[in-house]
Homo-oligomer: A and B are copies of this chain.
Amino acid sequence: MSIRRERSILEEDLAKEIIAMECEALDRWGKGDPWGFTEISTAEVTYYDPYTERRLDGLEALRQFYASIEGKIRIERYEMINPRVQIHGDTAVLTFNLIDYVPASGGLTREVHWNSTEVYSRNNGEWKIVHTHWSYIKPKLQD
């Protein structure tokens, strides 16, 4: 087996590990528990989503933001579409599109479509998130 092939298997394992971490945090998120994400984010984490007025800097800012939505999110199920992990040394850029299926009035289900970026970095053998960016796919804006 060539060195190149070995590396590719290692990278594949790492990609699976990163995706599994993300799914575990997403599972908790869908039950109203945002702390799965703070547990795997570093002190320096930077963060955007469609509700932030500006970039959030640092884990404490993220914790305060999440405290305001704890218990308020309910996602029935989600689809992680076409996840990709770009590995550069001790950094792994995980990107995927996401469909959340959210309970709506009248027993219906609403879909929310996301662009998702999670930059993981390895420190002392531990992979954690250093940057998160969530945005809507093709948001339909008011005029």
Residues of A within 8 A of B (CB): 44, 46, 48, 50-55, 57, 81-82, 84, 86, 88-91, 93, 95-97, 115, 117, 119, 121, 130-131, 133, 135-142
Interchain CB contact under 8 A, A130 and B46: no
6 contacts between A and B (CB under 8 A): A46-B84, A50-B138, A55-B82, A86-B131, A133-B135, A139-B139
B contact residues around A82 at 8 Å (CB):
54-55
Which residues on the B side are within 8 Å of A139 (C-beta)? 50, 136, 139, 141
**Interface SS of chain A:** strand
Task: Name the residue on B nearest A130 (C-beta).
Answer: B86
Complex contacts, A131 vs chain B, CB 8 Å: 86, 93, 95, 117
Within the complex, the shortest CB–CB distance from A76 to chain B, in Å, comes to 21
Contact B51 A138 (CB under 8 A): yes
A119 partner residues in chain B, CB cutoff 8 A: 93, 119
Residues in B neighbouring A136, C-beta threshold 8 A: 50, 135, 139, 141
CB neighbours (8 Å) of A137 from chain B are 52-54
